[in-house]
Amino acid sequence: MNYAEMLAKVSTASGFIAALDQSGGSTPKALRGYGVEEDAYTTEEEMFGLIHDMRARIITAPSFSGEKVLGAILFERTMDGEAGGKPVPTALQDRGVVPFLKVDKGLEEEVDGVQMMKPMPDLDALLQRAKAKGVFGTKKRSVINQASPSGIAAIVKQQFDVAEQILAAGLMPIIEPEVNIKSVDRAQSDIILRDEILKALDKVSSDHKVMLKLSIPAEAGTFDALINHPRVLRVVALSGGYARPEACAELAKNKGMIASFSRALLEDLRHQMTAEEFDTALSSAIDEIHAASAT
């Protein structure tokens, strides 16, 4: 797929985006969920090798195709690896799945109720490398823990500033200011975030569009103005700690949002499964998430 074909698919097709981008800090937890305990590896390289094997198994499973999976967000090491004997972005495109790349370097400590993104000094070089490999877009995450107007405004400004850098490189940014679904003032955070994003969207350069990855709102319909905004290509939802049935039920209340789930997609997959068992479990998860995204 070329960029125009990927753009058309992401903007109009039915489906969801798989998040396969667990980074160093979240990898041990992801492996434990997959049935691989920490005594199965002794070095970071071995750990990353095991998580790559899991991702490659998902990407090459018969049920993981562009019929219901629009895209997949990759960790940098996954982008640089292979699946089924092909570079991962190529393997995804060959299955009709649009590749994205996680580009943030993790979170700063909480200040003013939020966690900003750490600096990304090598971002331009990473973007050019990703584009050369056929990657369509990027994802970068911040976290909102409290309904702090100044903190949320700072997060939105940082996210959109970096988005302009990504747009200038010819890639599609997914802006992800995650609202912690366990925060006591979550609904208020959703509203402050929506309003800050609306202001920022009006300043996006040229005729560019961006994507948004948001926590499922506490009140259904809170993000309708974002979903319908002419500068927004697509609004996708993170599962935010919900188990898949609850995540899908909450997502289905928000027409126009589609899933970009990680744990909720992978929660039934186990290292010990046969190929048939693995694909059956993955297919069931894909069907359930697709149905919630299509409402």
Catalytic residue set: 176, 213
Q: Is 3 helix (H, G, I), strand (E, B) or coil?
A: helix
CA distances from 201 to 107, 161, 166, 206, 212 (A): 23, 11, 15, 11, 11
Dist. CA 294–CA 224, nearest whole Å = 16
CA angle, corner 222, sides to 219 and 226, nearest 5?
155
The CB-side HSE value for 88 (13 A sphere, CA atoms) comes to 28
Dist. CA 45–CA 48, nearest whole Å = 5
In terms of Cα–Cα distance, which of 167, 212, 173 is closest to 194? Answer: 212
Find residue 82's DSSP bridge partners.
87
Q: Under a CB-based contact definition with an 8 Å cutoff, are residues 183 and 145 in contact?
A: yes
CA dihedral 23→25→31→34, nearest 10 degrees, is -70
In terms of Cα–Cα distance, which of 155, 149, 107, 101 is closest to 128? Answer: 101
Dist. CA 289–CA 249, nearest whole Å = 10
